Amino acid sequence: MASLVAYDDSDSEAESEPMGNFDAAGQMKDTCDVVKPCGQDFASGVLDVMEGATKQGSCESPAGEHLPLARLWRRDPGSCPSQRLQWPRTEPEVTFPTSEPPHPSLWTSHAPAGHVPLAAARFKQVKLSWGTFDLSEPSLRAHTKSESPGENGSSLPKKRREDCVVPYIPKRLRQLQALSTETGKSPDVEAQGPSAGRTPGPLCMAPRVSEFIQPYLDTPYKETQIARKVLFYLRGHRGPVNSIQWCPVSSRSHMFLSASMDKTFKVWNAVDSGSCLQTYSLHSEAVRAARWSPCGQRILSGGFDCALHLTDLETGTQIFSGQSNFRVTTLKFHPKDHSLFVCGGFGSEIKAWDVRSSKVVRSYKATIQQTLDILFLQEGSEFLSSTDASSRDSADRTIIAWDFRSSARISNQIFHERYTCPSLALHPREPVFLAQTNGNYLALFSAVWPYRMSRRRRYEGHKVEGYSVGCECSPDGDLLVTGSADGRALLYCFRTASRARTLHGHTQACVGTTFHPVLPSVLATCSWEGDIKIWH
């Protein structure tokens, strides 16, 4: 509220009536005041009128009457304003909260709804109609006071109390706001979800399609647009995020999966609000890999506790639970038979499981110590595995092609350089695949036998440095994206191998990148520091 100031002027008596009258107790009767709702603390500065008339520094009118002054809150108590007070003719507009907070827009909101302070999310700033003040100066910042008679000993004038209408705020809302004010954090920063050792609750899987995804469902995928700025900043993991993936079902592709070293994996709404829908704490050790099922209703997870879990999101129950004899680092569903999946990790073999019988149906043995990634080819009849073998005679173990049904090796002479390949990616339209190498480049290979590597095309400019840096192709195949050990995310043109854009998004290694399967301009990245960013 603006401060009231009286000046030595000849016509001050004529203007004293609109400005307010003072009674014998020195209190001003004001009919044009803005009422602050109970429990609301405005973030922006608002000038407060001192409740009692200032006894010091009064001015006299020519008629000899003493006019009280309202002191502006400044460092210098003796300073006087240099502009004449302009009292508004109409009351200022005050906007009160509605029953539901407004839904953030995809193109205007850049922060998750779970991280906006509750007071700022439900209340809008009071609009002052009598002028524009520079509230950035420390001398003019707000010093909000409680207007309750029991706290400061003085009550508002009776007429003022009768004219004011204060909206009712529920007790739960007041408690949450008080908690956020005391701790300095939003009460819903932590995502909804069970604690460690408890059964996760069902996830709300309503058949609702995001309003931003709906226009793209009935049209073919358009040309991928290069992401430029951050849409959402997803925080909630307490450890490095190992893998991220959008829901493969187009109508539910607003849901987003992330697995972390903090022993949990989370499901987010990464298109509409940026909020966490559910947290799953099923593993006793780090969750190294988590994948959506092709139907979009289940999540397969594996971790360093050697456990495998297939969780139904609608009921929260475990459809399948298995125990491997090695720590799991990679998981992939069979592209045709969705009841089969392949897993690898810190072991000398790769295993194929059947969730219907909860048993291992095939084993793929090789003289290796760790499987880094798995990639299916030829609609599931073949798959590739990358290993950590990087010695002088390791050309037959770095990348191996397997026949899925017979468990036989198709080729073991694919990559002949002394670098490991932490991740593999298949091109969506051409029979080629990409291999991320610790030589700080992306290598291009043919996806059919004999799987020859291209010597003419190589994607360079990023750093791997031993991290499990992921790579991926855009749905139309025109762009490639890869993370980097220095926190960057780089986009390359697939045809020319030239760099299209560099995104400086993280302070630590960017280990995961993925394009949205429907929206042509949305990209997700995750880092070793535990944060996730949604770009558009």
Look at residues 494, 107, 58 and name the one whose alpha carbon lies nearest to residue 271: 107
499 compared with 189, residue with greater pLDDT:
499
Interval 496-512 mean pLDDT: 95
Look at residues 240, 186, 302, 289 and name the one whose alpha carbon lies nearest to residue 483: 240
Cα dihedral value 387, 510, 533, 290, nearest 10? 20
C-alpha span between 141 and 35 (Å, rounded): 18
Q: Which pLDDT belongs to residue 412? A: 86
**Residue 314 — very low, low, confident or very high, per pLDDT cuts 50/70/90?**
confident
Q: What is the DSSP string of 49-109?
A: PPSBPEEEEEEE-TTS-EEEEPPP--S-TT---SS-----SSPPP-----SSPPPPPTTT-
Sheet architecture: strand order including 371-377:
371-377, 382-387, 399-403, 409-411
Look up residue 299 and give its amino acid: I
Comparing 240-244, 389-393, 406-410, 519-523, which segment has the lowest mean pLDDT?
A: 389-393
Give 352's strand partners: 342, 362
Q: Residues 360-387: pLDDT tens digits?
A: 999 999 888 899 999 999 889 999 999 8
Look at residues 499, 493, 479, 487 and name the one whose alpha carbon lies nearest to residue 525: 487
Q: Which pLDDT belongs to residue 66? A: 47
Q: What is the DSSP string of 435-468?
A: EEETTTEEEEEESSTT-PEEEEEEEES---TTS-
> Six-digit token pair at 208?
């609702």
403 compared with 11, residue with greater pLDDT:
403
Mean pLDDT of the chain, nearest integer: 74
| Domain extent listing, the chain | 242-468
Three-class SS state of 115 = helix
> Six-digit token pair at 333?
């569903």
Look at residues 16, 40, 41, 44 and name the one whose alpha carbon lies nearest to residue 30: 16
Three-class SS state of 31 = coil
Backbone angles phi, psi at 187, to 5 degrees: -65, -15
**Residue 63 — very low, low, confident or very high, per pLDDT cuts 50/70/90?**
very low
Q: Which residues of 242-281 are buried (b: 16+ CB within 10 A; e: fewer)?
A: bbbbbbebeebbbbbbbbbbbbbbbbbbbbbbbbbbbbbb
**Residue 181 — very low, low, confident or very high, per pLDDT cuts 50/70/90?**
low
Q: Does residue 266 contact residue 244 with C-beta atoms inside 8 Å?
A: no
Q: Which pLDDT belongs to residue 106? A: 45
pTM (two decimals): 0.65
If you average pLDDT over each of 34-43, 152-161, 339-348, which comes out highest?
339-348
Is the pLDDT at 273 greater than 60, yes or no? yes
Q: Which pLDDT belongs to residue 390? A: 59
Give 318's strand partners: 311
- How many Cβ atoms are within 10 Å of 337's Cβ, its own excluded? 11
**Residue 167 — very low, low, confident or very high, per pLDDT cuts 50/70/90?**
low
Q: Does residue 283 contact residue 305 with C-beta atoms inside 8 Å?
A: yes
CATH second-level architecture of 242-468? Answer: 7 Propeller (2.130)
Q: Which pLDDT belongs to residue 113? A: 41
Q: Which pLDDT belongs to residue 393? A: 56
**Residue 417 — very low, low, confident or very high, per pLDDT cuts 50/70/90?**
confident
User: What residues contact 189, with CB distance under 8 A and at least 6 apart?
Assistant: 114, 115, 235, 236
Interval 439-462 mean pLDDT: 94
Q: Which residue has the tokens 């539910």?
A: 252
Q: Which helix (H) or strand (E) holds 12?
A: helix 12-19
Q: Does residue 278 contact residue 201 with C-beta atoms inside 8 Å?
A: yes
Alpha carbon separation from 244 to 146, 386, 470 (Å, rounded): 47, 19, 10
**Residue 170 — very low, low, confident or very high, per pLDDT cuts 50/70/90?**
confident
Alpha carbon separation from 328 to 257, 259, 456 (Å, rounded): 18, 13, 35
- How many Cβ atoms are within 10 Å of 318's Cβ, its own excluded? 13
Comparing 2-11, 161-170, 197-206, 236-245, which segment has the lowest mean pLDDT?
A: 2-11
515 compared with 15, residue with greater pLDDT:
515
C-alpha span between 285 and 266 (Å, rounded): 15
Q: Which pLDDT belongs to residue 413? A: 86
Q: Which pLDDT belongs to residue 392? A: 57
Is the pLDDT at 391 greater than 60, yes or no? no
